Chains A and B, each alone.
Chain A
């Protein structure tokens, strides 16, 4: 018997987790789906002074994107809430599937199924509301998968080699819509993996604790960064010399560094968090 991975067993654990998906998650999904409807009603019913309130499609895409992130953040703690509980988690731990199979199923439901189900519902509701003669302008659906093409990446026209020092290890050489889509997808993976890990290490108030830790980490990083920049003579000298001619180049340089750093961070953090989740599934004591 293959104790690491077996496709039949994997199918069974997928089915098992799938049967838990809707009963556990439908209420949270319904609330997230309802938020744009509430905004729609609020916009439609708002008194006007003769002018028409137009609720732009791109603005709705941003709201749907924000709510998608909420869905991703809360999914692990709702779908796999009890899996590390010393009493309630015994059933999950004793299920005859390998750690890899349980891990992959968890990843599939938190990283792939949750966004797909949420997006399908949210875009369908948006399309229905857009069909009604109301305050909606255009369809979020038509714009969502093409949203990065809507932004003018003027920076993409520059020669990156001239823009950055050779020492910067670049993964990308332009902020193309493709790159931005990859960055966004990796961001989703990182967000999900962070909260999956939080779900495995905390027993109670899992999402809240993880958000608290992230805020704390962000503050610490900001303090370190600001301190570093303020105390680094080379940087301060460089900043002093900035004038209107080279400020654009500086900002472009910062954006490229930032985007590269974001890409590396997303890959490294996702990998570390997912490894942590796998280890916790394997070694969790009950």
Chain B
């Protein structure tokens, strides 16, 4: 489990987090959502130990990530947004780093490369941006770490690749694996993530599972705009209304509408979800 307690973090004079507390339970695929610049990548870097909190603590299974101990590092993998590759083939790359990870599976790597439709024989620099991202995803998943952190993994992927991405994440991540996907393209991770964490500047607005969300928030599709909705958006054929679920009705979460509702009613929804 990842525990963040009273975390303060700043880059020189720019405050990123102010006294935030948050928990990530094991075995879930978290969606880490937020507008650009709210600190999604920074939070992932803090959890990976690539940054150190100014105040407060971050622990992963009781270990402080910033100590960068091998016991911690062999259980986590961070795939940054920016594609940085070596002048080699994905196969040679994974063989070079895979030996450090106790559950690394080369057969799984080959299978993932096949499923993601990446040419095994080509070097990274001969692959397109999207192909590189998929190759790195195959590398990351074949390491079978307990924690997998993906920063904007669908950026630069075409539509079929986005579907392949969702497929391999849901199919190959074990029940023990905790995945945190940071993204601002919420539609790309629809039907994949649960729970959702929504970050705001200095703050965490929501950390809740779909069940917890639909228990308190109702998503209604109606022909007209409803007055007491947190957020309303016109869709083809009507409106999506994000409402308080006072009558405990069942509905399906529309992540994009939820995100916009939270952004428009920060304090209200934050207090509602407490």
Contact = CB atoms under 8 A, between A and B. Distances in A.
A23 B50 CA distance: 27
B73 A9 contact: no
B45 interface: yes
B96 A9 contact: no
B70 A96 contact: yes
A19 B100 CA distance: 14
Interface string A69-107: 000000000000000000110110111111101000000
Contacts of A3: 69-71
A203 interface: no
B71 A1 contact: yes
B84 A98 contact: no
A53 B48 CA distance: 63
Contacts of B45: 286
A64 to B, nearest CB: 30
B163 interface: no
Nearest to B45: A286
B98 to A, nearest CB: 10
B76 interface: yes
A6 interface: yes
A91 B98 CA distance: 12
B70 A94 contact: no
Contact of B70 (A9, A87, A283, A286): A9
B70 A98 contact: yes
B48 A94 contact: yes
B51 A96 contact: no
Given A1-B70, A9-B70, A90 B80 contact: yes
Given A95-B100, A96-B101, A87 B51 contact: no
Nearest to A24: B87
Given A3-B69, A97-B70, A12 B77 contact: no
A96 B80 contact: no
B100 A286 contact: no
Contacts of A209: none
A95 B50 contact: no
Interface string A1-45: 101001001001001100100010000000000000000000000
Interface string B83-126: 01001000000001101110000000000000000000000000
B50 A93 contact: yes
A283 B73 CA distance: 15
B84 A286 contact: no
Interface residues of B, number: 24
A216 to B, nearest CB: 27
A282 B84 contact: no
B152 to A, nearest CB: 13
B84 to A, nearest CB: 5
A80 B74 CA distance: 21
B29 to A, nearest CB: 21
Interface in A122-180: none
Contacts of B77: 94
Nearest to B95: A19
Contacts of A97: 70, 73, 100
B11 to A, nearest CB: 9
Contact of A87 (B52, B84, B97, B99): B84
Contacts of B24: none
A105 to B, nearest CB: 13
B70 A6 contact: yes
Contact of A94 (B78, B84, B96, B99): B78
B84 A91 contact: yes
B68 A19 contact: no
B184 to A, nearest CB: 19
Nearest to B81: A87
Contacts of A98: 68-70
B71 A90 contact: no
B82 interface: yes
B50 A90 contact: yes
Contacts of B50: 90, 93-94, 285-286
Nearest to B11: A285
A215 B52 CA distance: 35
Contact of B100 (A96, A99, A283, A285): A96
Contact of A88 (B52, B68, B84): B84
A91 B78 CA distance: 9
Nearest to A15: B99
Contact of B97 (A16, A23, A283): A16
A39 B74 CA distance: 50
Contacts of B87: 23
Nearest to B69: A3
A2 to B, nearest CB: 8
A95 B73 contact: yes
18 contacts: A1-B70, A12-B99, A15-B99, A16-B97, A16-B100, A19-B96, A87-B82, A88-B84, A90-B50, A90-B78, A91-B84, A93-B49, A94-B50, A96-B100, A98-B69, A283-B52, A286-B45, A286-B51
Name the 3 nearest CB pairs between A and B, nearest first: A96-B74, A96-B73, A286-B50
